[in-house]
Structure 1
């Protein structure tokens, strides 16, 4: 499979985006506490997202005709790297920018594109994902949420869970069964766009172990949707979801979730050395190994971005990098926590490292759940390699 990856470089015109993004982030965010920066993926700040939109950086790869930037996937790679490195609160626009917008651009009608895409690019429409369900988990083919055709459109009934920011979003793209029964698996599934303010929609936030409430369970109780709610072809939902998940898994997001903690540990090691404390061989070795793994994963992610820029759809490769990336992200708090436990660093002026480690340790188990569990991804990789 290694022959599917090639050394790829960011084009100069896209690399040039890095400097203005850094300047904007410095001026807009100032100095954030490390434990706040570590929440970047889940940091919801609509004002920050609107400020990003004013710079033209929401919907960066979407068509200019709909308010997007018309840029290549490399430009978005640079933007995402800078956002996650500084720990920017990206959660408000994240899903709409990364997957809902591209999905609508690819499968939506002209009317859907004209209505939703400009709002996404202006950070005026936030989306959540309606895939997982109670008692179904990552087995999307067994979902029971149903959309029944009516004289005026569709009537939606069912439940979704783990819907990030559903309580703060305007819309959901929901996977629903429009024909057949759950035992039909992939057949008979479709996607519908749901206005979350409609009667019959109820949203119950779920508090996680870190004390955050970004997940929600969403219930649809005979929610009436218009004909225009259907996105793409009726019954083609499985193919469309596969494309949406490829958007979700193909970016550099899957390797940087623990990068703020890694940076804080490096700063702590440097502070200890300045204070005259020895940095042990095991600490130096662990730091080198983590940085080398991160650099390798970045090259793999860049290779996928290069293939996306060519119009290809490297779903198997994206699944592989997502699996490797989340394993790396989860290893960072374990490695650092173990080393701090055996040799606490003295002379650190504040608790920023401890606070950041505590948060990342709590949230890290979710890294291998979001975007597809490790078991599901490895099954995809096996099929992509012809092994099952």
Structure 2
């Protein structure tokens, strides 16, 4: 299946070598451990052992400097590995948030002690983190966050509730955005700070938010008089909004924002290529349209990766990738469903059980794509402001 993904390859020889390494690893690991490709695997497939094996193979913590236990590579090297993991639908959820968001945030804003303590664990695939941003009444509008941190001797007391906190029930810590100064009506984005809250700290209560299918990925995290020592303040007090904005560029711009359904698409394309009955022009055109959209979205996403590599904070471009990419993910589920119906009507071929399972899972997750990481409607406002239109 990964061979079909070659159309998205980069031409730099070093990057080709990285792509070859991750493909070899995935083929061997899947053969030995028997995991199956999954749609939306970066949210739905939690496998700590896989994360450790990826770390042992030197394919995790790629952008973490070597002196912190990482590989000292560029963002584009990590990008190549990420899209191959997604193309194969590998079980990557355990390390995903820590590697994608926490590691670059620590490198940019963390203390030396925090970097030395946490980054090697992330590179080893042994550290799991969740992000505590959204709240009841403050989903995409993070300026409305009400979780409060109050100064106390040697640290801070946190009170509040976070929702849609992916993987918190497995995580070692939650990075919490909290208000540390009174609301300024003229500057709602000021007065925020970030805290690294251990999930086993006194006063932390984690409750599941289950999907209608019974799947459990999201959580409500209630913080009641949680003491967070000064050593667990992330960055500077009062700089939380700037830090979160930088962090969201990593969350919103990666290939997972348009490749969550790619295992389904690649499985369908591979299946179609094995048929004996010629396909109509309308069906081949539909497949070509899906591929063209993926390529265009990837160009946008890699442009953000290059900007991040240059040390920039492309918040507007990242929001655009997330908006267009997740809309494509939603649309692709319906397009594939119609495509399979057309193929069956033309040729009598029904999809394989594996494809049917991937399509079922894609439908279950379809509504999530445009919500997480900020709703697309709000992100369009971000893009408009960035263009000077609002």
Query: What range describes the TM-score normalised by the shorter chain of this pair?
Result: over 0.9
CA contact (8 A) 2:261 2:362 kept: yes
Partner of 1:325: 325
> Deviation at 1:266?
1.6
Match of 1:249 among 246, 249, 252: 252
CA contact (8 A) 1:316 1:380 kept: yes
TM superposition score normalised by structure 1: 0.92
SS in 2 for 1:129: strand
Q: What pairs with 1:226-375 in structure 2 (closer than 5 Å)?
A: 226-271=229-274, 273-274=275-276, 276=277, 278-341=278-341, 344=344, 346-348=348-350, 350-375=352-377
1:325-370 deviation line (CA, Å, top 9, x unaligned): 1111111111122333455363447322222111101201111111
Q: What pairs with 1:78-93 in structure 2 (closer than 5 Å)?
A: 78-93=80-95
SS in 2 for 1:214: strand
Match of 1:61 among 60, 63, 67: 63
Matched, 1:212 2:215: yes
SS in 1 for 2:207: strand
For the structure 1 residues 95 and 38, does the alpha-carbon distance in structure 2 shift closer, same or farther, using more than 3 Å as the test?
A: closer
In the alignment of these two chains, the number of paired residues is 377
Gaps of 5+ in 1: 1-7
1:71-109 deviation line (CA, Å, top 9, x unaligned): 001100110011011111110000000011110111011
Structure 1 outlier segments of 4+, above 4 Å: none
TM superposition score normalised by structure 2: 0.92
For the structure 1 residues 38 and 279, does the alpha-carbon distance in structure 2 shift closer, same or farther, using more than 3 Å as the test?
A: farther
Gaps of 5+ in 2: 1-8
> Deviation at 1:10?
5.4
CA contact (8 A) 1:44 1:91 kept: yes
Q: Distance in 1 between matches of 2:336 and 2:83?
A: 22
CA contact (8 A) 1:37 1:86 kept: no
> Deviation at 1:247?
1.4
SS in 2 for 1:162: coil
For the structure 1 residues 342 and 369, does the alpha-carbon distance in structure 2 shift closer, same or farther, using more than 3 Å as the test?
A: same
Q: Distance in 1 between matches of 2:43 and 2:23?
A: 18
More divergent stretch after superposition (308-317 vs 19-28): 308-317
Match of 1:121 among 115, 123, 126: 123
> Deviation at 1:214?
0.7
Aligned CA RMSD, in angstroms, stands at: 1.9
